[in-house]
């Protein structure tokens, strides 16, 4: 595979999650301390990538098509968090096509691999994986909405193993055969919604914004995307059947600001408007459920959802700078140049990297993170930065070389 990018320190996807039980055949999983993350249940703390893992960006051929992917540790990763089978990534198109000719693949909505037979997914969990309830809740949610059932493995050959990965969250797409991993890194916060997203990959779903018909519904703002992550926004070139219309609310849809280099959206609707939804990617959307009911048919009755109508592009409407003191609840405003949301008579700032709303205060015409809800004498990860709350102040660095910082107008600054 041709190397096309220099090494970089990737942004984080995440991990804190689940466990119980272990399996002796999974060796080499060292113990990692659980990181204290503020419990914001309605957040999805996902920003794809592997924190503090050196990566190379390369190009190769997969399913007969040229792709860019990352080498993160021992993993080949496509589109931020999709694990590729190394045996299916080739240097030349000819090799890739030859591989395709030797093995026919079942094509389903967004999946190039076999589905899980009998609607049953077997799994095990590493005992080193923290915050087990998140995976437990993710599985319970998927089972309640679909015809799938998840069963603890005994001696089944094909199964998922939830583990602490090399840093970040990632998964293969569809059943691979044998053991396959869902990596849930322990260093960055990983919510129940993130776990639903990664399980979504494992049961056969790709990212929504990579669909071949996406240009009818969204605009990709290439100039706003970090150079090293533009490849994550390329459309899937291999032919796949999509069982549902395009879905902005899908648990598999990127956040509009993910991998932004300038705090401007990387993805908008075709008319230039945003599709930010604070409930997005916490759970399966209605169309996710419809699609999975077709992939895994059964007794659950799913109500059809009306498709999204493609929109003709128009000039985007600039955000309203309403600073006259008359604010409506559950409404976005741009004040002092920062986009904030009025909710419950308080102000909230959306941190795209964490996919989390944080309460902020207007201090001298600047928006400052409200630290009153964060525990003292503990570390927290906020906007990709590890900081410590001490004596109601924020500090960054080691015990011997730390400095006071504050989160102002959407970034960490020295005090």
CA dist., res. 173 & res. 146, Å (int): 18
CA dist., res. 289 & res. 291, Å (int): 5
Residues 6+ away with beta carbon under 8 Å from 196: 138, 141, 142, 251, 281, 282, 283, 284
DSSP 360-409: EEEETTEEEE-GGGSPTTEEEEETTEEEEEETTEEEEE-SSSEEEEEEET
Q: Which is the catalytic residue, given 198, 242, 278, 404?
A: 198
Q: Which strand (E) or helix (H) includes residue 196?
A: helix 192-202
Strand partners, 80: none
Q: Is position 208 annotated as part of the catalytic site? A: no
337 burial via Cβ count (<10 Å: 0-12, 13-18, 19+): exposed
Hey, is 298 helix, strand or coil? coil
- Token pair listed for 282: 């916490």
How many other C-beta atoms lie within 10 A of the C-beta of residue 166? 16
Hey, is 134 helix, strand or coil? helix
Asked if residues 313 and 344 have their Cβ atoms less than 8 Å apart, the reply is: no
The residue length of the chain stands at 415
Catalytic residues: 198
């Amino acid at each position: 595979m041709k190397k096309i990018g220099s090494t970089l320190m990737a942004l984080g996807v995440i991990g804190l999650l689940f466990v119980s039980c272990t399996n002796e055949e999974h060796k080499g999983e060292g113990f990692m301390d659980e990181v204290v993350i503020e419990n914001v249940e309605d957040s999805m703390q996902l920003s794809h990538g592997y924190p503090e893992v050196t990566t190379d960006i390369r190009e190769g051929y997969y399913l007969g098509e040229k792709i860019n992917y990352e080498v993160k540790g021992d993993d080949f990763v496509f589109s931020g968090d999709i694990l590729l089978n190394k045996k299916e990534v080739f240097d030349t198109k000819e090799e890739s096509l030859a591989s395709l000719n030797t093995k026919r693949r079942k094509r389903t909505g967004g999946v190039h691999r076999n589905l899980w037979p009998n609607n049953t997914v077997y799994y095990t969990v590493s005992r080193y994986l923290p915050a087990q309830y998140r995976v437990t809740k993710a599985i319970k949610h998927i089972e309640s909405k679909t015809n799938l059932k998840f069963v603890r493995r005994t001696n089944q050959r094909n199964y998922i193993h939830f583990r602490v990965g090399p840093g970040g969250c990632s998964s293969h797409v569809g059943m691979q055969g044998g053991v396959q991993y869902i990596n849930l890194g322990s260093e960055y916060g990983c919510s129940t919604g993130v776990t639903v997203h990664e399980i979504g990959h494992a049961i056969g779903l790709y990212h929504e914004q990579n669909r071949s018909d996406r240009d009818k519904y969204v605009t990709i703002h290439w100039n706003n995307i970090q150079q090293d992550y533009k490849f994550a926004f390329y459309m899937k070139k291999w032919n796949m059947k999509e069982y549902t219309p395009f879905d902005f609310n899908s648990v598999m849809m990127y956040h509009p600001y993910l991998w932004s280099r300038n705090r401007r959206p990387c993805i908008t609707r075709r008319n230039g408007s945003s599709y930010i939804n604070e409930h997005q990617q916490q759970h399966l959307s209605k169309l996710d459920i419809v699609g999975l009911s077709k992939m895994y048919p059964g007794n659950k009755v799913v109500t059809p959802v009306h498709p999204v109508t493609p929109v003709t592009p128009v000039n985007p409407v600039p955000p309203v700078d309403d600073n006259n003191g008359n604010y409506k609840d559950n409404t976005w405003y741009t004040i002092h140049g920062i986009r904030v949301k009025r909710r419950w008579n308080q102000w909230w700032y959306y941190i795209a990297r964490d996919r989390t709303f944080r309460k902020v205060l207007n201090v001298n015409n600047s928006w400052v993170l409200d630290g009153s809800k964060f525990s003292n004498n503990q570390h927290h990860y906020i906007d990709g930065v590890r900081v410590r709350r001490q004596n109601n102040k924020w500090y960054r660095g080691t015990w011997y070389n730390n400095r006071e910082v504050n989160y102002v107008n959407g970034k960490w600054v020295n005090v």
